[in-house]
Amino acid sequence: MNEPTSYYAHPTAVIDEGCEIGAGTKIWHFSHIMSNCKIGEHCNIGQNVVISPEVILGKNVKVQNNVSIYTGVICEDDVFLGPSMVFTNVINPRSAVNRKNQYARTLVKKGASIGANATIVCGHDIGKFAFIGAGAVVTKHVPDYALVMGNPARQTGWMSTYGHKLSFNKDGLAVCPESGEQYKLENGNVVKLD
Protein backbone atom coordinates (compact mmCIF):
# COMPACT_ATOMS: atom_id res chain seq x y z
CA MET A 1 0.00 0.00 0.00
CA ASN A 2 1.22 3.54 -0.67
CA GLU A 3 2.42 5.80 2.13
CA PRO A 4 -0.67 7.14 3.92
CA THR A 5 0.48 10.70 3.31
CA SER A 6 0.27 10.40 -0.49
CA TYR A 7 -3.56 10.25 -0.52
CA TYR A 8 -6.37 11.19 1.86
CA ALA A 9 -8.80 8.67 3.37
CA HIS A 10 -11.53 9.72 5.79
CA PRO A 11 -11.25 7.87 9.13
CA THR A 12 -14.47 5.92 8.38
CA ALA A 13 -13.14 4.60 5.04
CA VAL A 14 -11.90 0.99 4.92
CA ILE A 15 -8.96 0.15 2.67
CA ASP A 16 -8.03 -3.53 2.40
CA GLU A 17 -4.56 -4.98 1.91
CA GLY A 18 -2.81 -4.92 -1.45
CA CYS A 19 -4.37 -1.73 -2.84
CA GLU A 20 -2.40 0.77 -4.89
CA ILE A 21 -3.73 4.31 -4.45
CA GLY A 22 -2.26 7.25 -6.36
CA ALA A 23 -1.03 10.50 -4.89
CA GLY A 24 -3.63 13.20 -4.43
CA THR A 25 -6.58 10.77 -4.39
CA LYS A 26 -9.34 11.43 -1.83
CA ILE A 27 -11.52 8.70 -0.32
CA TRP A 28 -14.54 9.94 1.64
CA HIS A 29 -16.89 8.74 4.39
CA PHE A 30 -17.92 5.07 4.72
CA SER A 31 -16.28 3.93 1.48
CA HIS A 32 -14.69 0.48 1.16
CA ILE A 33 -11.74 -0.13 -1.14
CA MET A 34 -11.35 -3.91 -1.36
CA SER A 35 -8.17 -5.93 -1.90
CA ASN A 36 -5.83 -5.47 -4.84
CA CYS A 37 -7.54 -2.43 -6.37
CA LYS A 38 -5.50 0.01 -8.41
CA ILE A 39 -6.63 3.62 -8.13
CA GLY A 40 -4.76 6.31 -10.06
CA GLU A 41 -3.62 9.75 -9.02
CA HIS A 42 -6.04 12.59 -8.20
CA CYS A 43 -9.18 10.44 -8.08
CA ASN A 44 -12.13 11.42 -5.90
CA ILE A 45 -14.06 8.56 -4.29
CA GLY A 46 -17.32 9.88 -2.79
CA GLN A 47 -19.24 8.70 0.27
CA ASN A 48 -20.56 5.15 0.62
CA VAL A 49 -18.66 3.81 -2.41
CA VAL A 50 -17.68 0.14 -2.73
CA ILE A 51 -14.79 -0.75 -5.01
CA SER A 52 -14.55 -4.53 -5.31
CA PRO A 53 -11.33 -6.56 -5.54
CA GLU A 54 -9.04 -5.97 -8.52
CA VAL A 55 -10.96 -3.02 -9.96
CA ILE A 56 -8.74 -0.58 -11.88
CA LEU A 57 -9.37 3.17 -11.97
CA GLY A 58 -7.14 5.48 -14.03
CA LYS A 59 -6.10 9.02 -13.13
CA ASN A 60 -8.61 11.75 -12.24
CA VAL A 61 -11.60 9.40 -12.01
CA LYS A 62 -14.54 10.99 -10.17
CA VAL A 63 -16.80 8.52 -8.34
CA GLN A 64 -19.88 10.16 -6.82
CA ASN A 65 -21.74 8.95 -3.71
CA ASN A 66 -23.35 5.49 -3.42
CA VAL A 67 -21.59 3.86 -6.39
CA SER A 68 -20.63 0.16 -6.46
CA ILE A 69 -17.82 -0.78 -8.84
CA TYR A 70 -17.61 -4.56 -9.15
CA THR A 71 -14.73 -6.86 -10.06
CA GLY A 72 -14.18 -6.83 -13.82
CA VAL A 73 -14.60 -3.07 -14.23
CA ILE A 74 -11.78 -0.95 -15.64
CA CYS A 75 -12.15 2.84 -15.87
CA GLU A 76 -9.55 4.75 -17.87
CA ASP A 77 -8.41 8.31 -17.07
CA ASP A 78 -10.90 11.17 -16.55
CA VAL A 79 -14.01 8.98 -16.21
CA PHE A 80 -17.02 10.42 -14.31
CA LEU A 81 -19.36 8.03 -12.46
CA GLY A 82 -22.54 9.80 -11.35
CA PRO A 83 -24.37 9.36 -8.04
CA SER A 84 -25.83 5.89 -7.40
CA MET A 85 -24.92 4.52 -10.84
CA VAL A 86 -24.37 0.75 -10.93
CA PHE A 87 -22.12 -1.72 -12.67
CA THR A 88 -22.88 -5.46 -12.78
CA ASN A 89 -20.41 -8.30 -13.29
CA VAL A 90 -22.49 -11.43 -13.93
CA ILE A 91 -25.01 -11.65 -16.77
CA ASN A 92 -27.32 -14.21 -15.11
CA PRO A 93 -26.89 -14.01 -11.30
CA ARG A 94 -28.53 -16.53 -8.97
CA SER A 95 -28.10 -16.49 -5.23
CA ALA A 96 -27.65 -20.28 -5.03
CA VAL A 97 -25.20 -20.51 -7.97
CA ASN A 98 -21.61 -19.35 -7.52
CA ARG A 99 -20.48 -17.60 -10.73
CA LYS A 100 -17.32 -15.84 -9.49
CA ASN A 101 -15.39 -17.48 -12.34
CA GLN A 102 -17.80 -15.93 -14.88
CA TYR A 103 -17.29 -12.24 -14.10
CA ALA A 104 -17.54 -10.24 -17.33
CA ARG A 105 -15.20 -7.33 -18.06
CA THR A 106 -16.54 -3.81 -18.58
CA LEU A 107 -14.19 -1.15 -19.95
CA VAL A 108 -15.08 2.53 -19.55
CA LYS A 109 -12.77 4.46 -21.85
CA LYS A 110 -11.06 7.80 -21.29
CA GLY A 111 -13.27 10.80 -20.54
CA ALA A 112 -16.61 8.96 -20.53
CA SER A 113 -19.39 10.20 -18.21
CA ILE A 114 -22.08 7.98 -16.71
CA GLY A 115 -25.10 9.80 -15.27
CA ALA A 116 -26.85 9.37 -11.94
CA ASN A 117 -28.73 6.08 -11.41
CA ALA A 118 -27.57 4.61 -14.74
CA THR A 119 -26.94 0.85 -14.92
CA ILE A 120 -24.19 -0.70 -17.03
CA VAL A 121 -24.92 -4.36 -17.76
CA CYS A 122 -21.60 -6.20 -17.65
CA GLY A 123 -19.56 -7.05 -20.72
CA HIS A 124 -20.33 -3.84 -22.60
CA ASP A 125 -17.64 -1.25 -23.25
CA ILE A 126 -18.28 2.48 -22.99
CA GLY A 127 -16.40 4.46 -25.68
CA LYS A 128 -14.11 7.38 -25.02
CA PHE A 129 -15.93 10.62 -24.18
CA ALA A 130 -19.28 8.82 -24.42
CA PHE A 131 -22.10 10.28 -22.33
CA ILE A 132 -24.60 7.97 -20.59
CA GLY A 133 -27.76 9.84 -19.55
CA ALA A 134 -29.16 9.68 -16.02
CA GLY A 135 -31.15 6.50 -15.41
CA ALA A 136 -30.08 4.84 -18.66
CA VAL A 137 -29.72 1.05 -18.78
CA VAL A 138 -26.81 0.15 -21.07
CA THR A 139 -27.22 -3.29 -22.68
CA LYS A 140 -24.73 -3.03 -25.55
CA HIS A 141 -21.43 -1.38 -26.46
CA VAL A 142 -21.46 2.44 -26.64
CA PRO A 143 -19.34 4.12 -29.39
CA ASP A 144 -16.82 6.90 -28.78
CA TYR A 145 -18.51 10.32 -28.29
CA ALA A 146 -22.02 8.76 -28.31
CA LEU A 147 -24.89 10.16 -26.23
CA VAL A 148 -27.22 7.38 -25.03
CA MET A 149 -30.40 7.62 -22.96
CA GLY A 150 -33.33 5.52 -21.81
CA ASN A 151 -34.15 1.93 -20.92
CA PRO A 152 -32.80 0.16 -22.82
CA ALA A 153 -30.29 2.89 -23.70
CA ARG A 154 -30.47 4.15 -27.28
CA GLN A 155 -28.16 6.57 -29.00
CA THR A 156 -29.69 10.04 -29.40
CA GLY A 157 -26.67 12.02 -30.56
CA TRP A 158 -22.99 12.78 -30.21
CA MET A 159 -21.03 14.68 -27.55
CA SER A 160 -17.83 16.74 -27.55
CA THR A 161 -14.96 16.11 -25.16
CA TYR A 162 -16.31 19.09 -23.18
CA GLY A 163 -19.74 17.45 -22.82
CA HIS A 164 -21.79 19.44 -25.34
CA LYS A 165 -24.20 17.85 -27.81
CA LEU A 166 -22.80 18.18 -31.33
CA SER A 167 -24.81 19.40 -34.31
CA PHE A 168 -23.36 18.22 -37.61
CA ASN A 169 -23.77 20.17 -40.88
CA LYS A 170 -24.40 18.65 -44.33
CA ASP A 171 -20.66 17.99 -44.68
CA GLY A 172 -20.59 15.98 -41.46
CA LEU A 173 -18.73 18.65 -39.48
CA ALA A 174 -19.51 20.01 -36.01
CA VAL A 175 -17.88 22.47 -33.62
CA CYS A 176 -17.98 22.31 -29.81
CA PRO A 177 -19.48 25.63 -28.62
CA GLU A 178 -17.19 25.75 -25.57
CA SER A 179 -13.79 24.59 -26.84
CA GLY A 180 -14.05 25.35 -30.56
CA GLU A 181 -12.81 21.83 -31.30
CA GLN A 182 -14.00 20.37 -34.60
CA TYR A 183 -15.51 16.91 -35.13
CA LYS A 184 -16.28 14.83 -38.20
CA LEU A 185 -19.10 12.29 -38.53
CA GLU A 186 -18.20 9.67 -41.09
CA ASN A 187 -19.55 6.14 -41.61
CA GLY A 188 -21.41 6.22 -38.30
CA ASN A 189 -18.37 7.23 -36.25
CA VAL A 190 -17.21 10.55 -34.82
CA VAL A 191 -13.58 11.64 -34.70
CA LYS A 192 -12.11 14.82 -33.28
CA LEU A 193 -10.10 16.74 -35.89
CA ASP A 194 -6.65 18.08 -35.02
Q: CB–CB of 81/69 below 8 Å? A: yes
- Over residues 116-128, the pLDDT tens digits come to 999 999 999 999 9
Q: Is residue 120 part of a domain?
A: yes
In this prediction, residue 2 carries a pLDDT of: 46
Share of the chain above pLDDT 70, in %: 97
User: What average pLDDT does the structure give for the chain?
Assistant: 96
182 within some domain:
no
Look at residue 139 in the predicted model and tell me its pLDDT.
97
Looking up residue 106, the CATH number of its domain turns out to be: 2.160.10.10
pLDDT higher than threshold 60 for residue 47: yes
- Residue numbers of the domain that contains 102: 4-165
Give the pLDDT score at 189: 96
Whether 191 maps to a domain, the answer reads no
pLDDT of residue 194: 87
User: Residue 188 falls within a domain, yes or no?
Assistant: no
- What domain count does the chain have? 1
Q: What is the pTM of this model?
A: 0.95
Residue 5: pLDDT band (50, 70, 90) is low
Q: Give dist(CA 75, CA 87) in Å, integer.
A: 11
Residues 28-40 pLDDT 10s: 999 999 999 999 9
